[in-house]
A and B are shown apart, each in its own frame.
Chain A
């Protein structure tokens, strides 16, 4: 059990919820331990150096931070609530008859942000940076479509041209978000190569950037890619953990025992973990997509089935074959369906600070339904992985355990996928 000295708690409570920058930087070459770096074609080296310099100048600029704070408060709707579930634990423990089992599950409600997922925190930060750097055009990739929607939103707000690359398989399963992006004035470009999912969308976005570096900003959506993206995306998402840490101290008087978040590229997880890294007694657990099974091509659990490699600019854990080609992935959730994990996750795991588990498609669907029926919240399929894992933890946790879950997004986009999946399995009557 984790308790905090009262002085710390007061400090944390009175601390204003401003993103803190420059607290845990990688080394000068962008490495977190042996992971990260900058593995890009020569044409992108200069633009990435320009981006790095632009980012470091922006984060040191009080006016930039104040503008971001203003938008996070009045446009995004931060701070998002921290909500203690009332019936979810009972659903996880049907055999427990007591009115309230000792296990508590709290949800950090990123699903309640403007546009409905944590992605807006990063998209706004980077779009402001693009504007500050004098770029007029933004390209972005998207898997589930939430980052595409967030980018399209930020670009509409700031008057930037926006082109979003999206695999055609993802366009099919996240059709609602395609329409949203178009309504927001973005151009959605379908990507037909490879598995037609997130990885292929990133390749295509990078090809666009290589060809248009002078006026184009690449707004990468997760804690992935070449340095400084993993750092920058984490710092823009760190507001999640800062708020959640303060809120849980206010509501419970102590730190949580376990923090759980789903991990695709890993930005929502880095965002909530960051504030707890130094709280050594708090377990930090990332949940990957177990898909159908941990069999090549049928999952996206990089730590369960991957090894060290280089993909899309960064050295990290990837799913690859013996020849170093990237393997196909599968997940019911488009946002977790990706072959590499953010490099900082690989490092935090190596030094023993974070742990990783996986949840299968079927378990994620159970988590989705449990949260909908017991709490009246329809979660994104990505976030449902974290919910399902928290329910699994609740079954075996000691009495009095507090679990904090990052509910990274809402599930409107997944309604048709879930309906199809439930029909196929005969569940969800």
Chain B
């Protein structure tokens, strides 16, 4: 059993909703991302999503776009992200999921990426613009190395595709609760509960629900239906505000402890 499955089993056993965190690797630079991942793990984040910056993040809103620009300006590449993950792997107990657009991975070479992701201790991979139909070969490469392929589901995903995702995904299913680009919102979308219900009807995989989550009450609300809540832009905002200051790690840790409170 992989680290992701063990994590969700443990959450289920205790009946607590999990927290999946997203950060853009290399914002403000890779050394500090390593520190951020350690802080997130210490604060109790259950799954760490590590975003690979890409020049054209067309599914992301302004907060992650800006983080991407800072990460690229600090010279971050996929190669560097994998090295950074390898460097923290021994210190971090939470599973690590690489979150990327297709082109950096394809440029790196899909098979070479799968090899080096395994060597770095990556537990799962989510490629934002590689829908199920385009992902078959890549999924095989990852599975052969014990890496989960995390599939993303949206309110527009048809029941037919939900069933496909249930059959082909592993680790957990990442459901987005609203249409649109990434970004924190005041309230969790109305359709979130319905979204999770549709997924539960076809899959026994754990469900993490994201898009718009920024406060402890969102996490608790999502936890009533899903196995975990995903926090992205709001955390990236905390990192942006702390920037290069010395208390970056502390602020990240406090924010995640607050979310889990």
Interface residues of A (CB under 8 A from B): 29, 37-47, 193-194, 199, 202-203, 206-207, 210-214, 309-313, 318, 320, 322-326
List residues of chain B with CB within 8 A of the CB of A45: 131, 156-157, 161
Interface positions, chain B 92-142, Cβ under 8 Å from A, are 101-108, 128-131, 133-134
A305 to B181, CA, bound (A): 32
Known: A39-B134, A323-B78. 19 other contacts (CB 8 A): A39-B131, A41-B59, A41-B128, A42-B151, A42-B157, A43-B59, A44-B156, A46-B161, A207-B181, A210-B181, A211-B180, A309-B106, A311-B56, A312-B56, A322-B107, A323-B107, A324-B103, A325-B104, A326-B55
A211 and B154 contact, Cβ closer than 8 Å, known pairs A323-B79, A324-B78: no
List residues of chain A with CB within 8 A of the CB of B131: 38-42, 45
B65 within 8 A of A: yes
Residue of A nearest to B178 (CB): A211
A193 and B176 within 8 A (CB): no
Residue of B nearest to A44 (CB): B156
B128 and A310 within 8 A (CB): no
A203 and B58 within 8 A (CB): yes
B77 within 8 A of A: yes
Give chain B nearest CB distance to A343 CB in angstroms: 13
List residues of chain B with CB within 8 A of the CB of A203: 56-58
B129 and A313 within 8 A (CB): yes
List residues of chain A with CB within 8 A of the CB of B105: 324
A299 to B156, CA, bound (A): 39
Residue of A nearest to B127 (CB): A39
A313 to B176, CA, bound (A): 20
A324 to B181, CA, bound (A): 22
List residues of chain A with CB within 8 A of the CB of B107: 309, 320, 322-324
Residue of A nearest to B151 (CB): A42
A318 to B54, CA, bound (A): 14
A194 to B65, CA, bound (A): 10
B179 and A38 within 8 A (CB): no
A218 to B143, CA, bound (A): 36
B158 within 8 A of A: yes
List residues of chain A with CB within 8 A of the CB of B79: 323
A318 to B56, CA, bound (A): 13
A403 to B128, CA, bound (A): 45
A311 and B158 within 8 A (CB): no
CB contact between A38 and one of B58, B78, B106, B133 (< 8 Å): that residue: B133
A309 and B103 contact, Cβ closer than 8 Å, known pairs A193-B65, A324-B78: yes
A210 to B72, CA, bound (A): 25
CB contact between B58 and one of A37, A206, A318, A320 (< 8 Å): that residue: A206
B153 within 8 A of A: yes
Residue of B nearest to A307 (CB): B107
A325 and B54 contact, Cβ closer than 8 Å, known pairs A40-B131, A193-B65, A310-B103: yes
Interface positions, chain B 40-77, Cβ under 8 Å from A, are 54-59, 61, 65, 72, 77
Residue of A nearest to B106 (CB): A310
B157 and A310 within 8 A (CB): no
A310 to B58, CA, bound (A): 12
Give chain A nearest CB distance to B102 CB in angstroms: 5
A47 and B156 within 8 A (CB): yes
Give chain A nearest CB distance to B219 CB in angstroms: 23
Give chain A nearest CB distance to B196 CB in angstroms: 16
A43 and B179 within 8 A (CB): yes
Residue of A nearest to B105 (CB): A324
List residues of chain A with CB within 8 A of the CB of B199: none
Give chain A nearest CB distance to B204 CB in angstroms: 20
A194 to B72, CA, bound (A): 12
Residue of A nearest to B66 (CB): A193
A214 to B154, CA, bound (A): 13
Residue picked from A39, A194, A311, A312, most chain B C-beta under 10 Å: A39
List residues of chain B with CB within 8 A of the CB of A42: 131, 151-154, 156-157, 176
* Interface pairs (17), CB distance under 8 Å: A37-B134, A39-B129, A44-B156, A45-B157, A45-B161, A46-B156, A202-B58, A210-B180, A309-B107, A312-B58, A322-B107, A323-B107, A324-B103, A325-B72, A325-B103, A326-B55, A326-B103
A193 to B157, CA, bound (A): 29
Q: Across chains A and B, which 3 residue pairs bring their CB atoms closest together, nearest first?
A: A324-B107, A211-B180, A324-B104
Residue picked from A42, A210, A212, A318, most chain B C-beta under 10 Å: A42
A311 and B103 within 8 A (CB): yes
